[in-house]
Amino acid sequence: MSIKVGDKIPEGMFTVMGAEGPVGMSTSDVFDGKKVVLFAVPGAFTPTCSVAHLPGFVVHLDDIKGKGVDTVACMSVNDVFVVDAWGKSANAEHLLMLADGNGDFAKALDLTLDGRGFGMGLRSQRFAMIVDNGVVSLLNVDAGALDGSSAEAILAAL
């Protein structure tokens, strides 16, 4: 069953690019004691993700943080090198770019997408959530087009 509003974020690990290379980051590191907007994309460098989804959060970052959000994080089921390069190419250095390389966190949320028909394997569905101290207070999962998980939708909900 998919994660829902009121649920605690499951324990898990991400990889981020540190100054000296890849570094593990736990869900506790990301969510405990903080208000976090986490949005997930089916893939770095894919059309909608690169043209609209990530750029929207880059543009609206200050407005979102102005609503009391400590961290805005982008998650993708890609390796940390791809996620880091994508973040740099999109001027997203002020966002927390989380690699869910094997899709383990997407699986734990039960928000996976089967992209095998496109040669992409298991991916994350496109979603955005607001997490208050590890508990989901808003979850918007997009069925197709970028809609409820956009930066504008999240900003309106804050």
Residue 134 lies in a domain: yes
Residue 123 lies in a domain: yes
Question: Taking residues 89-113, what's their average pLDDT?
Answer: 96
Question: Taking residues 15-36, what's their average pLDDT?
Answer: 97
Residue 72 lies in a domain: yes
- Marked catalytic residue, from 16, 37, 40, 49: 49
Position 98 confidence tier, pLDDT thresholds 50, 70, 90: very high
Residue 141 lies in a domain: yes
CA distance 33 to 152: 25
Question: What was the pLDDT predicted at 58?
Answer: 97
Residue 26 lies in a domain: yes
Window from 18-22, 37-41, 65-69, 112-116 with minimum mean pLDDT:
112-116
Could you give the C-alpha distances from 21 to 15, 34, 80, in angstroms and in order?
10, 25, 9
Query: Does 74 participate in catalysis according to the annotation?
Result: no
Residue 6 lies in a domain: no
Residue 5 lies in a domain: no
Number of domains in the chain: 1
CA distance 68 to 62: 10
Contacts of 8 (CB under 8 A, 6+ apart): 134, 135, 136
Q: What CATH number does the domain containing 52 carry?
A: 3.40.30.10
* Phi, psi (deg, nearest 5) at residue 21: 130, -170
Question: What was the pLDDT predicted at 51?
Answer: 79
User: Is residue 47 scored above 90 in pLDDT?
Assistant: no
Question: What was the pLDDT predicted at 154?
Answer: 97
145 lies in which domain range?
Answer: 13-157
CA distance 92 to 6: 29
The secondary structure of residue 81, as a DSSP letter, is: H
Residue 74 lies in a domain: yes
